[in-house]
């Protein structure tokens, strides 16, 4: 949390708008009845930054990134994302925000009744009102980019898990987002398919895409993460560089977590 | 038993004409009733899943009322009771000025009754579409109504197509109840042939064969419709056949 304070101070002393964080999560809390899922989460994400969020299951990682694009409402604090106050939850603003911040889900969530091409065109055509031919052309480019140029006509159910997740990434990119949220993108994959998905994500990161990634893939974190955020019991417990976090975690809970996931 | 079989009666006039007219009315009642049932049923079914409480409650009441009163009673209520409850002028219009009042009453009664059943299927179909689908659609910027129309309902209809087929078949058979309020549909025409000729066996055999033929055609058509809209699920093992060890 100290890291975020210093970032905030830095941006306030330099009056350059471009340096305002793309995303500011400020003291966000969420509870379901008496169960507190998130409390006091504070985090800034700069443009072009790749932030990896890790932590034990049930620690609130997925809930936190779903708060960012308003999929999950929160009860306390404030989230400013690309100038939109997410907590106010005005439908108009949320739609605008979601067209700019894409999301990739653990279970892909491709639309099973639509072809791969239609999956990529749905939101561009119906939300951005792009002409169909333009959306299709862009979709074909993106399928080339994720290495699936010949799958445009397939149905999602005919693809492997790794291929589906690559299509899902292409679908998110079809909206030309300024940032992408990943919710455990490789957790539902067979081990041999994790690599192909991570390769696409590494390439995205290198191209300068702003990314918030909930994942346990420590290799990915080391390779591209600018920062690693460790969450436990709904709180952000530790924030640091990937190297710093993995080699010298400062909190006991992070050490325990790392020893458990790195031991196998 | 001495019974004079005379199958030729079925192709003799006026009886052949009666059967054809009856078949036509059966198809018309079932077809128009089905159109009402689908329209109302889909709206009520969606209504049962929305966040708005009054809409949800109204939809639930609709289903309870129309599903739990026997169709035969509903036909009588629409035909005999409703005109008396309405303002006099409206009642007169229903009884005197509406052309073929018994036909339209049967269509409306059958349609609204079946709508309650379709609403339940639509509701459970919507519930079957995983929540992640809705989240993915919303996350891409689609509005709630677009999400319903473009992502949830298309999947819902594919899921409920088999039970909908069977509902359509039931609707065709239920149309025979229209005879109780005086519609000369297929079953009524068969009865009329019987009372005119005393050849009940032949008449009802013809009706049976015609119902079966309609049902078979509907089933074949629906199967073709379904095949063009398959939605393969990844990583889904086929259901395990249970057998004794």
For residue A161, list chain B residues with Cβ-Cβ distance below 8 A: 234-235
DSSP-derived pairing of the beta strands A35-45 and A50-54 = unpaired
Query: Distance (Å, rounded) from C-alpha A233 to C-alpha A255?
Result: 15
CB of A90 less than 8 A from some CB of B: no
Residue whose structure tokens are 């119902």: B211
Instruction: Verify whether the Cβ–Cβ distance B143 to A111 is below 8 Å.
Output: no
**Stretch (H or E) spanning A210:** strand A210-214
Protein fold of B10-230: MetI-like fold (1.10.3720)
So what's the pLDDT on residue A7? 40
For residue B132, list chain A residues with Cβ-Cβ distance below 8 A: 105, 107, 109
| Site from A63, A115, A126 to mutate, B interface, most B CB atoms within 10 angstroms | A126
Q: What's the average model confidence in pLDDT over B133-140?
A: 95
- Please report the number of interchain residue pairs, chain A to chain B, with beta-carbon separation below 8 angstroms: 79
Domain ranges, ordered by start, for chain B: 10-230
Determine the Cα angle at A255 with ends A252 and A258, to 5°: 150
| In the predicted structure, residue A131 carries a pLDDT above the cut 90 | yes
CB of A91 less than 8 A from some CB of B: yes
Instruction: Verify whether the Cβ–Cβ distance B139 to A157 is below 8 Å.
Output: no
Instruction: Kindly report the pTM of this predicted structure.
Output: 0.84
Q: Which ipTM score applies to this complex?
A: 0.88
Instruction: Verify whether the Cβ–Cβ distance B231 to A155 is below 8 Å.
Output: yes
So what's the pLDDT on residue B244? 62
So what's the pLDDT on residue B38? 96
For residue B140, list chain A residues with Cβ-Cβ distance below 8 A: 98-99, 102-103, 122-123, 127, 171-172, 175
Task: Give the chain B residue whose CA is nearest to the CA of A162.
Answer: B234
For residue B231, list chain A residues with Cβ-Cβ distance below 8 A: 112-113, 155, 157
Tell me the per-residue pLDDT of B203-212, one tens digit each, with 9 for 90 and over.
999 999 999 9
CB of B240 less than 8 A from some CB of A: no
Q: With H, G, I as helix, E, B as strand and everything else as coil, classify residue B184.
A: coil
Instruction: Verify whether the Cβ–Cβ distance B231 to A102 is below 8 Å.
Output: no
Give which of A161, A174, A81 is closest to A123, Cα–Cα.
A174
Give which of A34, A113, A115, A102 is closest to A68, Cα–Cα.
A102
Instruction: Verify whether the Cβ–Cβ distance A127 to B140 is below 8 Å.
Output: yes
| In the predicted structure, residue A201 carries a pLDDT above the cut 70 | yes
Query: Distance (Å, rounded) from C-alpha A77 to C-alpha A37?
Result: 14
CB of B132 less than 8 A from some CB of A: yes
Query: Distance (Å, rounded) from C-alpha B34 to C-alpha B217?
Result: 16
Cα of B222 to nearest chain A Cα, Å: 18
| In the predicted structure, residue B2 carries a pLDDT above the cut 90 | no
So what's the pLDDT on residue B106? 95
Tell me the per-residue pLDDT of B8-38, one tens digit each, with 9 for 90 and over.
888 888 989 999 999 999 999 999 999 999 9
Cα of A111 to nearest chain B Cα, Å: 7
Residue B164 vs residue A1, higher pLDDT: B164
Beta-ladder partners of A31: A36
**Stretch (H or E) spanning A79:** strand A76-81
Give which of A98, A82, A75, A93 is closest to A28, Cα–Cα.
A75
Instruction: Verify whether the Cβ–Cβ distance B140 to A91 is below 8 Å.
Output: no
**Long-range contacts of residues A146-149, Cβ cutoff 8 Å, at least 24 apart:** A146/A170, A146/A200, A147/A196, A147/A200, A148/A116
Least confident among A65-74, A143-152, B221-230: B221-230
| In the predicted structure, residue A8 carries a pLDDT above the cut 70 | no
| In the predicted structure, residue A159 carries a pLDDT above the cut 90 | yes
Query: Distance (Å, rounded) from C-alpha A154 to C-alpha A148?
Result: 11
Query: Distance (Å, rounded) from C-alpha B107 to C-alpha B110?
Result: 5
For residue B229, list chain A residues with Cβ-Cβ distance below 8 A: 113
Least confident among A199-203, A242-246, B66-70, B179-183: A242-246
The beta-carbon neighbor of A157 closest among B142, B143, B234 is: B234
């Amino acid at each position: 949390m100290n890291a975020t304070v210093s970032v905030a101070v830095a941006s306030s002393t330099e009056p350059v708008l471009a340096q305002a964080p793309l995303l500011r999560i400020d003291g966000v809390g969420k509870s379901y009845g008496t169960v507190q899922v998130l409390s006091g989460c504070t985090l800034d994400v700069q443009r072009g930054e790749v932030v990896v969020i890790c932590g034990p299951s049930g620690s609130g990682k997925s809930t936190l990134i779903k708060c960012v694009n308003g999929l999950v409402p929160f009860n306390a604090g404030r989230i400013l994302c690309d100038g939109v106050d997410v907590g106010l939850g005005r439908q108009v603003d949320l739609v605008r925000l979601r067209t700019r911040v894409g999301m990739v889900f653990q279970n892909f969530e491709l639309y099973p009744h639509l072809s791969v091409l239609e999956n990529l065109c749905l939101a561009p055509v119906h939300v951005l009102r792009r002409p169909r031919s333009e959306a299709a052309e862009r979709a074909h480019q993106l399928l080339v980019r994720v290495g699936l140029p010949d799958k445009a006509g397939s149905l999602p159910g005919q693809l492997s898990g790794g291929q589906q997740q690559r299509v899902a990434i292409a679908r998110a990119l079809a909206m030309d987002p300024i940032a992408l949220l990943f919710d455990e993108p490789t957790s539902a994959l067979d081990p041999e398919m994790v690599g192909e998905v991570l390769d696409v994500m590494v390439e995205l990161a290198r191209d300068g895409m702003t990314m918030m990634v909930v994942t346990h893939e420590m290799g990915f974190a080391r390779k591209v993460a600018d920062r690693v955020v460790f969450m436990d019991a709904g709180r952000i417990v530790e924030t640091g560089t990937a190297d710093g976090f993995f080699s010298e975690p400062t909190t006991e809970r992070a050490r325990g977590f790392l020893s458990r996931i790195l031991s196998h | 038993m001495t019974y004079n079989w005379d199958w030729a009666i079925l192709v003799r006039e006026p009886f052949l004409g009666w059967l054809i007219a009856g078949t036509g009315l059966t198809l018309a009642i079932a077809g128009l009733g089905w159109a009402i049932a689908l329209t109302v049923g889909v709206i009520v079914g969606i209504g049962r899943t929305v966040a708005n409480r009054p809409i949800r409650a109204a939809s639930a009441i609709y289903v309870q009322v129309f599903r739990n009163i026997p169709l035969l009673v509903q036909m009588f209520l629409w035909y005999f009771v409703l005109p008396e409850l309405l303002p006099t002028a409206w009642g007169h219009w229903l009884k005197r000025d509406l052309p073929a009042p018994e036909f339209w009453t049967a269509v409306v009664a059958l349609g609204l009754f079946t709508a309650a059943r379709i609403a339940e299927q639509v509701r459970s179909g919507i519930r079957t579409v995983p929540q992640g689908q809705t989240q993915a659609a919303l996350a891409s910027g689609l509005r709630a109504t677009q999400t319903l129309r473009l992502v949830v309902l298309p999947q819902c209809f594919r899921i409920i197509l088999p039970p909908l087929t069977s509902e359509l078949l039931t609707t065709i058979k239920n149309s025979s109840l229209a005879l109780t309020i005086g519609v000369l549909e297929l079953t009524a025409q068969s009865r009329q042939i019987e009372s005119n000729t005393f050849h009940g066996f032949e008449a009802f055999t013809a009706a049976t064969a015609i119902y079966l033929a309609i049902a078979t055609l509907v089933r074949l058509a629906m199967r073709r419709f379904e095949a063009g809209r398959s939605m393969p699920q990844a990583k889904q093992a086929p259901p395990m056949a249970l057998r004794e060890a």
